Amino acid sequence: MHIVVIATECAPVVKVGGLADMVSGLGRALAQRGHVVELILPWYDTLRREQIQGLNVARADLPIPWWDGVVHCTVHFGFVHGLPCHFVEPHSRDNFFNRGPLYGFPDDPLRFAFFCKAAMEYLFVTDRRPEIIHTHNWQTALAAVLLYEVYQPHGMNNCRVCHTIHDFRHQGVCTTEVLKATGLGRPKYFLDRERLQDDADPRMLNLAKAGIVYGNFVTTVSRRHAWEARFSDQGFGLGHALHMHQNKFGGILNGLDGDLWNPEADPLIPHLFSADDLAGKERNKEALRRRLRLTAEEKPLIAYVGRLDPQKGASLVRHALFTAVWNQAQFVLLGTGSDGNVNDTFVHLKHHLADNTDCHLEIGCDEELAHLIFAGADMCIVPSLREPCGLAQMIALRYGTVPIVRAVGGLADTVFDWDYAPLPREQRNGFVFEHADNTGIESALHRALGLYRERRDLWRQLLVTGMKTDLSWRHPAGDYLNVYEFIRHK
Ligand code: GLC
């Protein structure tokens, strides 16, 4: 099958969040199965160009009609981790992709509408007729609208769109000027409840909704989150659209990139280990303690690795830290704050606890330290209030670090509680709590610490189960292929 992925991130060349890992992970899994996978990405000023192999110019001039004129683009081509990628560089004073941060500008809808238009035009003029176009999030949802409203009658009629929503909160709500700029026009036609009209504000377009309406199949990144999006406030107002299109909506859990995250062959950790030989894990714990100057006493080590923001349950992270220290455990945190207040809280906490040799807070990004923490810690907390899929719990499982998670989204689909999960013991791999409050995380932590201290044999069984849980892209890639096959013949 020929699959073209239109996305705004792809690891490791451009990454803000988990979207980047998902795009490259799925792409490579599909390519390994013999499918032809190509990616189209914006040419950002912040691209890590050293991660692109064989970079050259694929098309020196790609003129894109825009408003009443034309924007000339250069399309660059190269391989990212073996995947062929096309990068669109517009030459215009709007300076769409040379702004440092990827997102967060008032003209984001226009910037990414332009990208969609350029991507579709590129496919069209280079005679690419993929069976599947896979788009991600509201930023690229307009590609499906352009396909059906503009390109299909011009020979792209065998092409189908799979659209994945990684986060329902951000929806690209915007005025109808996007229609004018892209040449879609017809504001009356599109500003219709059945099409692109925002359900909350009838004067506005909603690009996330565009993906739901025009995509031939719509996925989100876990089954639990598909349910949450439809039946809880986590759909952020898109519940009605999802209801109308429920027959083409479902959840597929992301996989974990086994080349990047593999304790048996990870170049970033000092001691390799496996489910059959855990000696290296012990030694990584010692290495981690030495590096962060923690006391070398026999104490369980609890970690948090991730963004420090309210949605990730930052206040519960703080509570877990104190719970750990009060209960003769150690705590290690690695994260950055996107929210000013939360960041301040943790910076303050770091100073407050500077003399405590049972905990360490590292505010910032450090890829190598992240690997060492996952390899060396005994437990890892993921107390998110909202988590469509989540990566930390999967990495933790893979590295024999027992996850303690809140029962939400992808966390609920990957972690099964040691005491309560309705599954046989051999399949339970962590601890889960329901309520996003201090009591919730505290009770899960106590259960985990209890098992660790009193039944080391069972603890070992628990972490080995986690390491053996299949989190690879094998199943998800198969699920996406089934989706592709299903829509292809419609
Ligand atoms: C978003 C979600 C996260 C998910 C990622 C990749 O960032 O918040 O839960 O893992 O997308 O799909």
CB of 25 closer than 6 A to ligand 1?
Answer: no
Residue 254 CA: nearest ligand 1 atom is 12
Q: What is the pLDDT of residue 341?
A: 82
Provide the pLDDT confidence category of residue 489 given band limits of 50, 70 and 90: confident
Distance from Cα 228 to the centre of ligand 1, integer Å: 14
CB of 252 closer than 6 A to ligand 1?
Answer: no
Q: How does pLDDT run across 7-25, given as a tens digit for each residue? A: 999 999 999 999 999 999 9
* 176, 225 contact by CB (below 8 A): no
Return the DSSP state at 48: -
CA 139 to CA 8: how far, in whole Å?
7
Provide the pLDDT confidence category of residue 98 given band limits of 50, 70 and 90: very high
Q: How many residues does the chain have?
A: 490
Rounded to an integer, the average pLDDT of 299-315 is: 95
Rounded to an integer, the average pLDDT of 38-58 is: 98
Q: What is the pLDDT of residue 47?
A: 97
CA 458 to CA 142: how far, in whole Å?
51
CB of 289 closer than 6 A to ligand 1?
Answer: no
> What's the token pair of residue 394?
């999967």
- Cross-strand bridge partners of residue 59: 75
Q: DSSP for 71-109?
A: EEEEEEEEEETTEEEEEEEEESTT-TT-SSSSS--TTHH
Q: What is the pLDDT of residue 365?
A: 87
CB of 312 closer than 6 A to ligand 1?
Answer: no
- Cross-strand bridge partners of residue 237: none
| pLDDT at residue 338 tops 80 | no
CB of 17 closer than 6 A to ligand 1?
Answer: yes
CB of 20 closer than 6 A to ligand 1?
Answer: no
Q: What is the pTM of this model?
A: 0.95
CA 400 to CA 338: how far, in whole Å?
29
CA 306 to CA 365: how far, in whole Å?
9
CATH number of 279-468: 3.40.50.2000
| pLDDT at residue 369 tops 80 | yes
CB of 389 closer than 6 A to ligand 1?
Answer: yes
| pLDDT at residue 249 tops 80 | yes
| pLDDT at residue 69 tops 80 | yes
CB of 306 closer than 6 A to ligand 1?
Answer: no
Q: What is the pLDDT of residue 245?
A: 98
Q: How does pLDDT run across 224-248, given as a tens digit for each residue? A: 999 999 999 999 999 999 999 999 9
Q: What is the pLDDT of residue 336?
A: 85
Distance from Cα 20 to the centre of ligand 1, integer Å: 9
> What's the token pair of residue 116?
């969609």
Q: What percent of the chain has pLDDT over 70?
A: 100
Q: What is the pLDDT of residue 321?
A: 97
- What Rg value do the Cα atoms of the chain yield, rounded? 23
Residue 225 CA: nearest ligand 1 atom is 9
CB of 47 closer than 6 A to ligand 1?
Answer: no
Q: Which residue stretches of 93-222 are H helix?
A: 108-125, 137-146, 177-182, 187-190, 207-214
Q: What is the pLDDT of residue 111?
A: 98
What is the rounded end-to-end Cα distance, in angstroms, of the chain?
15
Q: Do domains 2-255+474-488 and 279-468 have the same CATH topology?
A: yes
| 236 Cβ contact list (under 8 Å, min separation 6) | 168, 169, 171
Q: What is the pLDDT of residue 425?
A: 94
Distance from Cα 274 to the centre of ligand 1, integer Å: 27
Please give the single-letter amino acid code of residue 387. E
Q: What is each CA distance from 104 to 97, 369, 420, in whole angstroms?
A: 12, 29, 42
* 210, 141 contact by CB (below 8 A): yes
CB of 22 closer than 6 A to ligand 1?
Answer: yes
The domain spans of the chain are: 2-255+474-488, 279-468
Q: What is the pLDDT of residue 343?
A: 84
Average pLDDT of the chain to the nearest whole number: 97
CA-angle at 462, arms to 461 and 463, nearest 5°: 95
Q: How does pLDDT run across 200-209, given as a tens digit for each residue? A: 999 999 999 9
Rounded-to-5 percentages of helix, strand, coil across the chain: 40, 20, 35
CB of 166 closer than 6 A to ligand 1?
Answer: yes
| 2 Cβ contact list (under 8 Å, min separation 6) | 35, 36, 38, 128, 129, 130, 131, 132
Picking from 417, 415, 361, 423, the residue whose alpha carbon sits closest to that of residue 390 is: 415
CB of 405 closer than 6 A to ligand 1?
Answer: no
| 35 Cβ contact list (under 8 Å, min separation 6) | 1, 2, 3, 481
| pLDDT at residue 373 tops 90 | yes
Neighbours of 383 (CB within 10 A): 26
Rounded to an integer, the average pLDDT of 136-163 is: 97
> What's the token pair of residue 272?
């390799």
Mutation test residue for ligand 1: of 135, 167, 414, the one with most atoms within 8 Å of CB: 167
* 8, 139 contact by CB (below 8 A): yes
Neighbours of 202 (CB within 10 A): 10
- Cross-strand bridge partners of residue 37: 3
Distance from Cα 432 to the centre of ligand 1, integer Å: 19
> What's the token pair of residue 88?
């669109």
> What's the token pair of residue 476?
């998800």
* 11, 51 contact by CB (below 8 A): no
Mutation test residue for ligand 1: of 170, 221, 384, the one with most atoms within 8 Å of CB: 221
> What's the token pair of residue 334?
């690695």
| pLDDT at residue 490 tops 80 | no
CB of 110 closer than 6 A to ligand 1?
Answer: no
**Residue range 2-255+474-488 in CATH 3.40.1010.10:** no
Picking from 160, 143, 165, 141, the residue whose alpha carbon sits closest to that of residue 219 is: 165
Picking from 462, 339, 319, 463, the residue whose alpha carbon sits closest to that of residue 381 is: 319
Q: How does pLDDT run across 104-127, given as a tens digit for each residue? A: 999 999 999 999 999 999 999 999
Rounded to an integer, the average pLDDT of 141-159 is: 96
HEC string of 292-324 equals: HCCCCCCCCEEEEECCECHHHCHHHHHHHHHHH
- Cross-strand bridge partners of residue 250: 219
* 317, 361 contact by CB (below 8 A): no
> What's the token pair of residue 265?
């062959």
